[in-house]
Each structure stands twice: as C-alpha cells, then as structure tokens.
Structure 1
Amino acid sequence: MKKTVLALLTATMAFSSVTMASDVKIMTKVSGGKTAGEHKAFVQVIEKNTGMDVSMVKPGGSYDQVVLTTLASGEKYDLIYSTSKQLEYFIKQKAIMPMNDLIAKSPILSDRNRISQEELDVISRDGKIYGIPNKFEGGTMPVVRADWLEELGMKDPATLDQWYNFFKAAKTKYGAYGISTKGLYDIQPFMSAVGVKAGYVMIDGKRTVPYATDAAAPVYDWFAKLYKEGLLDPNFASNSSSDMTKLFLSDQTATVTYWDAFVGLYNNIRTNQDPKTTFRAKGLAGVPGPDGKIMMRRGDSSIWVIPANARKPENAIKFLEFWHSEPGYLLGTLGIEGIDYNVVDGKYVLTETGKEHGLDHGAPRVTSRNWVNPFGSLPGVDEAEAIVLKHASLEVLPAEWSKTKKILQKYAYRAMLGKVTGAEAVKAMRKDLAKSKLID
C-alpha cells in the first residue's frame, strides 16, 4: 500500500520542497507558491522564520484522495491541510490527534485575538480541538449591482417581492438578467425567506433535508416565475462560477450568488479596467424568514490537522505559530518579498507578479481580527464579511450528501424551469430520498 501512495504522490505532484531529513513534513493544497520556483522561495521564508528544515509537498490532481490514501497507508506527515467537512471521517478512523494540550502551551495559538473561539468551535468535537484554521472562511451571498440599485432609486431588497421588483427593473432598464446562479449554489439567501436551511438538519435524532420539504416549494415556484419572465439566467443549471462572473462583469446580470470576498474582487477588476467606471458591487443579506431570522451559508473551514502518526507534532506547532503571526500573515497574503512585493521607503509595493497573484498565497483573509493588510481591504469586502459573520452558519453535509444533492438538483431544476410545481418537486424529492435511505 505504501508503494501505491508514493506512486500516487509522484504522479500527481505539482511541485514541492522536500528535504530528506526535514524537521517538519507538511502536505498543503492552497498555501504555498503559485509556481515551482515561487514555492521553493515560499518554503525558504518559512525556514528563515522558524529555524527548521521544511518539507512542503503540494500535490496536484485529486487532493482529497491523496490525503485519504496517505493517511490510510501510514505515510508520515507532521501536518496536513484539509477542511472541516473531512473531520468526522478522520476522527472516526482515529487518523488525527486532538490538539488541546499543544494549543494550550502556545501563547500564539491560544490567543483568541488571533484565532477566535468561534473558529475553534467549528473544528472541535466533544471538547477536543482537532485542527487549527488556515484562514478566515467567508460565506456566499447575493452580490448586486449597487450602482444600478441607486440609479433605479431602489432600496436594498429585503423580501422576495422586493428582489423580484429589482430584477424586473434591471431587465427593463439595462436589458440584463435579474439573477444568475450556479445551480442551487447558492439559493440559500432566498430559501431563508421560508426558514429553510440547506444540507441536512437533525430533528429528534432523524435526518431531514429541508430543501425537500413543503416549506421550500414556494421558493422553487418563485424561481419558476423569474425564469418564465426572463429574469433568471436560463443557463443557471449548467453554469460554472466563471460563467456567473463573466455575466456580472459584463453588465449582463444584476445579481450573482457568490462568496463575500468576490465583492471586492469584482470591484477591483472593473476599476482596473476603467478607473472612471460607475460599476459598484455590493453584498447583501438573505431574506428574513417567518421568525425574522436570516439563514446564509458559511464556507467549510480550511484547517491544518496533525496526523496520529506524526513524527514531530511539536514542530507542526512551530509552523502554525509562524503562520498565525505577522510574518506568516504577510506570506499567506502578499507572498514573498522580492517576488510578489517590495518595501520601498517603508511602503509596500506589489510587483507585476504580485498583482497577478491577487494577495492570495493560501490565506487571503487571516483569522486575526487585529492584523491590517498593508494594502487594506478591497472595496465592499468588509461590509460583506460583516453580513456573513452576523448571519451565516455551516451546512451539515455528511458523506451521503453527494447522492442527496443529485436528487435535489434533478427535481429542483424541473420546478425552477416551470416543468413541475414546487409542491410536486419536493414530493418527488422525498420519495427518492426515502427510497435511497438518505432521510429517516
């Protein structure tokens, strides 16, 4: 089995910096250099700041599969990048170790101004902390053309009717779709209007899927109305994220449902294209439900975990302490001095390479609420992030979610296209989910 893992790593490896007698061996996905040369320089910065010899493998291909195969084989790493959605499996297999004692001994990792208790709660089970966050994870939300709202003399939509009116007005004045989505990703801000949460919800110990309940039916019918009137992008079911982005940046849709961080990226892109542009993207909250609560989606936490067979857990902690300190913040955002940026007369200046890399080398937004990025925040990001922090929560997506998702999509798309009613769609969903033993 070990030979299989080594072969897999060799075949899928994009680039790495490996020292045979390293002090710490790390597997990473998003954190690191953008190219092989930059990755080597990235590791050198870590070594300079920690005083350790660092092996940092950044495999290509199916990263999650590489991780699972590596852990199953006994291949030894001191630290592995993963996400919170993998935690249940890791814990069940006893593949990773709790980090409570290691964190308690670290002045940096136990500093709640650097890593909040809320962040740790997401990756804790039964009081045991099984990882350290890699970065601050945002959430998805409606991102609208705020300049259009202003030109139309309309307030921020807060009900389904108000959203419909905005979409209708945008279609009439600008010839644009009201909204473009990537399938059901992410209609959560609108499902919030009926108090429905995506994913699984446990009720009295039983698995339920709220998107397949009668409560969700009116929202599917609402989308069918949008589709019929040409307000919903007709390609929503097959869209990629880039498809939505292209429509939004080319004035072809008034709204997309995407990550809060992209509010700033959209504004930055258009401003770079035309400094005099009136384009202004803005993130908005979901629609309040019957009880006044707003339900939105927060992204799964990207985390660092220590395998149960780690050679040197204490050195993994040294890396994490660096990653959550000021030099680590600079590395995870700006990148490498001399490659991505320079400091000229005390001022940070991005190189052309740095501009291409977009202030993202694995942690575009750090978990610290006190550290200030030298380049500040992109326009609209802070306001969007505040909405996410106030209203968003993680979705419960167990291993069977991939099967459940396909069933939901099958019937939801039919309803949103007006081929069946919302009531007919959710009834069919429940029938198939029960037949496949995906709900209790």
Structure 2
Amino acid sequence: MNNTKLVGSAMALALLGGTLAGCSGGGEAPKAGEAPKAGEAPKTTEKKEDRALHIMAGVIGGKTPEENTLFEKEIERLTGIKTKLDKPASDYDQKLLAAIASGEKFDLLQVSKEKMNLFIEQGILTDLSAQVKGSKTLQDPDVLPTDEWNQVKTKDGKIYGVFTKYQGGTMPIVRNDWLKKLNLQEPKTLDDYYKVLKAFTEQDPDGNGKKDTYGLSIAGSYELQGFFSAAGLKQRYVEKDGKLDVPYSTDAAIPVYEWLNKLYKEGILDPNFATNDTGKMRNLFLADRVGMITYWDAWVGMLNNTRKQQDAKTTFEAKGLPGAVGPNGNYMLRRGDPDVWVVPVNAEHPKTAFEFIEWWHSKDGIVLGSMGIKDNDYTEKDGKYELTKAGQEHAMDHGVPFWYNKKFPNPFGLLPGVKDAQDLLAKYSSLELTPPKWADAEKIINEYMFKAILGEMPAADAVHKMRDQLKAQKLID
C-alpha cells in the first residue's frame, strides 16, 4: 500500500472517529431507572452553532504570515465570523493530508478537484447538494453559470465542492519582446517552436553578450499540453466507450517526446526542468534567462505586472500562445480542474462554513480574494478603489485572480495580456478528466517521460514501458 493510501485511511478513520464522537451527545438520556414521560419528546442539548471557522487553504489568504493574520481579521470584520486560517508556505497537499490524518478538525478546506474526488471516495466530505440547490446566491447564473456545476458534480449528480474562483487554463507563454527583437514570427508547428526556442538560446535575446539563456523552461511534466497538441493528444485521462486511457502513453506521443529530447540534447531546454518547481520556472522567465514557459493564463498578466512594477520603462512582454497546431488543423489547450471549498464530515461549524462559501461569491468576498485587505492592499472611497504599493505587488491575487460573478466587474480591468490569453482558452481549451487514481498514474508517466526527454531510454521504449505499467496497475483499461 502506498503512502497516499495509508494517509487516506488514517484521514478516514480520524474523520469518522470525530463524527461518531459528535453523535454520542445528540440528546439527553433519561436518568437511571427513569423512563421518558408518555407523549413527551426526548430533550436535546443541541446548542446554537458558534460563528467561527477553522480553514486550511493553499493559495487563499495573505502573502506573508503577518498578512495572513490581517486576512483572518478582515474576514471577521466583514462577516462577523471568527476565523483561524492555516496557509502553509509550501507543500500544501502533504501538510493538508498530514494535518487531517493527525485528527485536526477543519470546517473548510480549499482543495483541487482531484483531491475532492479522492476525499469523496474515502467518505470524508459532506454532501452539499441540498444546500447548493437551495441557495439563492449559488443558483444565480450571474454569480455562478449553471453549466459550470457539471465540472464538480459526481456521476450520480451530487455536489461536494463549491468553486473558490474561476479557474483558467494553461498554455505556452512567450517573451513576445524577444520575438520582435529577433524578427521571429509566432510559432505554429513543432518545427516553428524548435526554431524560435533555438534562436532564444543562441542569439543573445537579452543583449548581455553572453550565452546564458534557454529557449524553454518547464516545471517537471506540469504542463505540456500545448506541445502534445501537435499530436492531437489530451493531457491526463480520456474516456471512450466507458474505458479510461492516458493519451501520453500511446504511440502517437512518441514524436513529441523525441522533440523534447532534441531540445534537451541541444541545450535549448532548461537542464533543471525535472526538478524545477513553478516558482523557479517563473523566476527564470522574469530574470531574462528563458524565452518561454508553460503556465496559467492569469500569469501572463502577473508576469507583465511584476516587471512593470520593477521598471516602468521595461520592454518586457509576456504573451500567451495556443500551442502547436494538430493533425486536424486545430489547437488543443487545457482548462484546469477547479479548486473548490469542501466541508469535512467532522466540521464543527458546518452551517457557518456554508454561509462563508455563499459570502465568498459576494462583492465583499471577491474583493478580499482578489484585491486583498482594506488599508493594506487597497483603499476605497465612494466606491472607488486604489491599490496601495503592497496591493500593486500582490497583483490582485489573494487566491482569486478571476471570478464568476458578473454583478461585480473588475474595477481595474484585466492585467496586460490576460484578455488575449483567455480568448485563446475560450477557443481552444477543454476540461481535464482527473479520476481519483490520477496521482498513481502520474508517477508512472513522469518516470518514463523524464527517461525519454533526458535520453536515458528511446522514446518508443519509454512509452511502451509506461503503458505496460499503467495496465499492470489497472490504471488504464
């Protein structure tokens, strides 16, 4: 049994234990030898739920521990709910699993759809279907579009999670100013991408007279959909005739792995790609060390904003691209699985938790999740908002860079480059299929993907080994 399953079993036991313990005091038992009076309902000791919350979140909250404390106070100021917010600085998923397995109780968790599916399978989440259906706020199509609920519904139509934000998608992001400087056209095919990335590596795009740039940096296998688009292959799982498959493990993927290996062998791909996290990748891009990364549409604007804050006269320009054109003449980007609020079955304040979820999609909730904390990140007078220096650095993102609610448009508009990136996603992206067993499949995919890219194994052999192991572990049908 792997660590994830061990931790999952511990979590389920911890949460189940808390639930059973909570049920033991549901009513006042008769005293020894004393029966309830005829026709008299049993007395209960149920007390009114405190308006308090214990929340654990990965990206929602302040940017520093000190600002996290201000974030808690701002929630209380705006809602009257006394809040404790746990926001680990790193390794969120591991710390979340460990905290729950240890028996720590939470009222709300911010999790990915993948984790939500895992927790549903383990029976440790509260079914919110009835509350969502009865919520005037959440059923308002101007607050949350009706069709979006299909993203989070289970096969039997139940809802366990409610969106924390509008989730965008991923794509190649290029230094458009470098394209212009080197008189290069936007790439369309994998061959085009190779020529552009090679030029970024060899033609001194940063102008410092040194060969110290890479064409492409990625964070492991985090986001390669834009390149596998050339083979018409979807990231993660696809389902056909009721059977699950992983397109990256098929023979059609071999040419893409060979293309990536070519970039690695020629020094065009950042050699540390396999151990990069997304922060290292972004920092290379911001530091003029790499000409292209693969990341979220929101970051097109945040990258541009970051450099603008550092130097108002900068020529830096990040731009989203649709990836490589496929065999059918179309592009294939991915729209990411949504992050959601979920309520554990042993939550001590479940009613308050749902009240908070509804509030999160109101104007005040959106302002907090995007702009941040009043008088710290922004000031407001007569309905007009102004970002402070800290707010400008935080780029309108305290966990909610984009939101659904049409009743509150972004008072500052979108950051540079974001609208064009979102338009590409609207045209070319589709949702991922991420069943609970994805984490097990991903380990196998990464192992052989890296062997192929690093040249430790011919791409064809790596793909066949990958597929054999996925089948052996019953991760594909």
Q: 1:343 to 1:25 in 2, by over 3 A?
A: closer
Residue 194 of structure 2, aligned match among 164, 169, 176: 164
Q: 1:388 to 1:370 in 2, by over 3 A?
A: farther
Is the contact made by 1:181 and 1:236 (CA closer than 8 Å) also made in structure 2?
Answer: yes
1:71-86 mapped onto 2 (5 Å cutoff): 77-86=106-115
Separation (CA, whole Å) in 1 of partners of 2:77 and 2:275? 47
One-letter amino acid matched to 2:139: S
RMSD: 3.1
Residue 122 of structure 1, aligned match among 145, 151, 160: 151
Residue 99 of structure 1, aligned match among 117, 120, 128: 128
Secondary structure in structure 2 of the residue aligned to 1:256:
strand
Please tell me whether residue 22 in structure 1 is matched to residue 50 in structure 2: yes
> How many correspondences in the alignment?
425
One-letter amino acid matched to 1:261: A
One-letter amino acid matched to 1:381: V
The equivalent of 1:111 in structure 2 is 140
Residue 87 of structure 1, aligned match among 87, 91, 116: 116
Is the contact made by 1:25 and 1:79 (CA closer than 8 Å) also made in structure 2?
Answer: yes
Separation (CA, whole Å) in 2 of partners of 1:271 and 1:239? 25
Superimposed CA distance per residue, residues 79-126 of structure 1 (whole angstroms, 9 cap, x where no aligned partner): 332221123233334433333332333322111122123432111112
CA displacement at 1:218 relative to structure 2: 0.6
1:332-411 mapped onto 2 (5 Å cutoff): 332-343=369-380, 347-369=384-406, 371-411=408-448
Please tell me whether residue 45 in structure 1 is matched to residue 82 in structure 2: no
Residue 145 of structure 1, aligned match among 163, 167, 175: 175
One-letter amino acid matched to 1:428: K
Residue 133 of structure 1, aligned match among 158, 163, 171: 163
Superimposed CA distance per residue, residues 298-347 of structure 1 (whole angstroms, 9 cap, x where no aligned partner): 33311112334555544333222221111111111112212222235764
Is the contact made by 1:133 and 1:302 (CA closer than 8 Å) also made in structure 2?
Answer: yes
CA displacement at 1:141 relative to structure 2: 0.9
Q: Larger Rg: 1 or 2? A: 2
Q: 1:435 to 1:367 in 2, by over 3 A?
A: same
Unaligned runs of 5+ in 1: 7-19
Q: 1:26 to 1:293 in 2, by over 3 A?
A: farther
Separation (CA, whole Å) in 1 of partners of 2:460 and 2:325? 22
Q: Under a length normalisation based on structure 2, what TM-score does the superposition of the two structures give?
A: 0.79
Separation (CA, whole Å) in 2 of partners of 1:132 and 1:391? 25
Separation (CA, whole Å) in 2 of partners of 1:311 and 1:128? 22
Separation (CA, whole Å) in 2 of partners of 1:405 and 1:59? 26
Separation (CA, whole Å) in 1 of partners of 2:330 and 2:232? 8
1:182-221 mapped onto 2 (5 Å cutoff): 182-221=219-258
Residue 332 of structure 2, aligned match among 292, 295, 299: 295
One-letter amino acid matched to 1:97: T
Separation (CA, whole Å) in 2 of partners of 1:238 and 1:309? 37
Identity of aligned residues (%): 45
Separation (CA, whole Å) in 2 of partners of 1:137 and 1:224? 31
Is the contact made by 2:139 and 2:146 (CA closer than 8 Å) also made in structure 1?
Answer: no
Is the contact made by 1:133 and 1:367 (CA closer than 8 Å) also made in structure 2?
Answer: no
Is the contact made by 1:24 and 1:315 (CA closer than 8 Å) also made in structure 2?
Answer: yes
Is the contact made by 2:126 and 2:344 (CA closer than 8 Å) also made in structure 1?
Answer: yes
Secondary structure in structure 1 of the residue aligned to 2:380:
strand
CA displacement at 1:78 relative to structure 2: 4.3
Superimposed CA distance per residue, residues 110-147 of structure 1 (whole angstroms, 9 cap, x where no aligned partner): 11122123432111112222221011122221000112
More displaced, 68-77 or 123-132?
A: 68-77
More displaced, 183-192 or 60-69?
A: 60-69
Superimposed CA distance per residue, residues 271-290 of structure 1 (whole angstroms, 9 cap, x where no aligned partner): 22222221111011122322
More displaced, 284-293 or 133-142?
A: 284-293
The equivalent of 1:243 in structure 2 is 280
Secondary structure in structure 2 of the residue aligned to 1:124:
coil
Separation (CA, whole Å) in 2 of partners of 1:425 and 1:74? 41
Q: 1:59 to 1:161 in 2, by over 3 A?
A: closer
Separation (CA, whole Å) in 2 of partners of 1:107 and 1:409? 44
The equivalent of 2:86 in structure 1 is 58
Separation (CA, whole Å) in 2 of partners of 1:45 and 1:127? 35
Separation (CA, whole Å) in 2 of partners of 1:69 and 1:266? 33
One-letter amino acid matched to 1:192: S
Is the contact made by 2:165 and 2:403 (CA closer than 8 Å) also made in structure 1?
Answer: yes
CA displacement at 1:370 relative to structure 2: 5.0
Secondary structure in structure 1 of the residue aligned to 2:203:
helix
Separation (CA, whole Å) in 2 of partners of 1:277 and 1:193? 33
Separation (CA, whole Å) in 1 of partners of 2:176 and 2:280? 20
More displaced, 400-409 or 208-217?
A: 400-409
Q: Under a length normalisation based on structure 1, what TM-score does the superposition of the two structures give?
A: 0.85
Residue 185 of structure 2, aligned match among 152, 155, 165: 155
The equivalent of 2:207 in structure 1 is none
Superimposed CA distance per residue, residues 389-413 of structure 1 (whole angstroms, 9 cap, x where no aligned partner): 3333343344443343333233222
Separation (CA, whole Å) in 1 of partners of 2:431 and 2:310? 35
Separation (CA, whole Å) in 2 of partners of 1:66 and 1:184? 22
Q: 1:305 to 1:238 in 2, by over 3 A?
A: closer
